[in-house]
Amino acid sequence: MAAAALHAGWNALLKIGLDRYLTASLIQIGAGCIALPALPFFGLPVADAWPCIAVSALLHIGYNIFLSRAYQHGDLSQVYPIARGSSPLLVALLALLAGDALHAGQWLGLLVLVGGIWLMAWRGSHGGAALNGPLLFNALATAACIAGYTLADALGARSNGDAIGYALWLFVVNGVVATTVITLRRGPRIFLQLGPHWRGGLGGGAMSMLAYSLVIWATTQAPVAMVSALRETSVLFALLIGWLFLKESMPALRLLACAVILAGVALMKLA
């Protein structure tokens, strides 16, 4: 839940005037820069963890690309709930293959929680762009990337035996990969555009690193599907931030969606 609050916080903080692909890349580069000085205090990940780091780094690049494309076809209130709300179901299904199963009560709570998140997307389509094919494809591809790297990192952290050390190495590798990909896609001069935003990038990177490090640690303590679902309660924190600080409206349908999400959390906890 702390990771969810941090995730919503850095998303609200980093409205820095860049397109979403550049913003996501800047955050990953910033997180890598912050993680780098801490590496001497942690050992190298074990051999079994490196494939997980590689898979996660590649899927993070896919996440950046598909998410930025999704936002070309729909607004935040549509794309964000579909992408973030679909990933816990995919994580739960993939986790079955790894022997990390949920029992019936936890499945019920997960389905209710995901249903509440999806309910928020219908508000996004009201009075705005309709849910269309390209939006759904790219949002669901984003969800698949989230599910893939969440499971990869859970398995990697568990095999490494040190979740925080694994997370720090992951952020450094992600930063290197993000820097390489953005250079190949946009050219070296893109860093002149990113330069004025380095403070926001470091601030967002720090919050992102702390949020996802908490998620990785949590997956070593509980089933990854439960951790993934609870993490996506970030939509509640984002809604509260928008209402309290950005003076956004709180329509009745979103209040209903919040109630459904909280009911899902309660079911997962009490099951």
pLDDT digits (tens, 9 = 90+) for 118-158: 887 675 444 455 567 788 899 899 999 999 999 999 999 99
Please identify which residue in the block is written with the tokens 């998620």: 215
Per-residue model confidence (pLDDT) at position 48: 96
H or E stretch covering 162: none
> How high is the pLDDT of residue 92?
87
In percent, how much of the chain has pLDDT > 90?
Answer: 32
Query: Residue 36: its pLDDT value, please?
Result: 96
Please give the average per-residue pLDDT across 174-190, as a whole number.
Answer: 92
pLDDT above 70 covers a percentage of the chain that reads 86
Cα(207)–Cα(243) distance, integer angstroms: 21
215's CB contacts (< 8 A; 6+ apart) are: 3, 150, 153, 227, 231
Residue-wise pLDDT for 149-159, tens only, equals 999 999 999 99
By mean pLDDT, which of 95-109, 199-213, 228-242 is the weakest? Answer: 228-242
The overall average pLDDT reported for the chain is 83
3-state helix, strand, coil in the chain (%, to 5): 80, 0, 20
Note the pLDDT tens digit of each residue in 82-94. 887 788 888 888 8
Q: How far apart are CA 262 and CA 4, in angstroms?
A: 13
21-74: pLDDT as tens digits: 888 888 899 999 999 999 999 999 999 999 999 999 999 999 888 988 887 777
Residue 116 has pLDDT above 90, yes or no: no
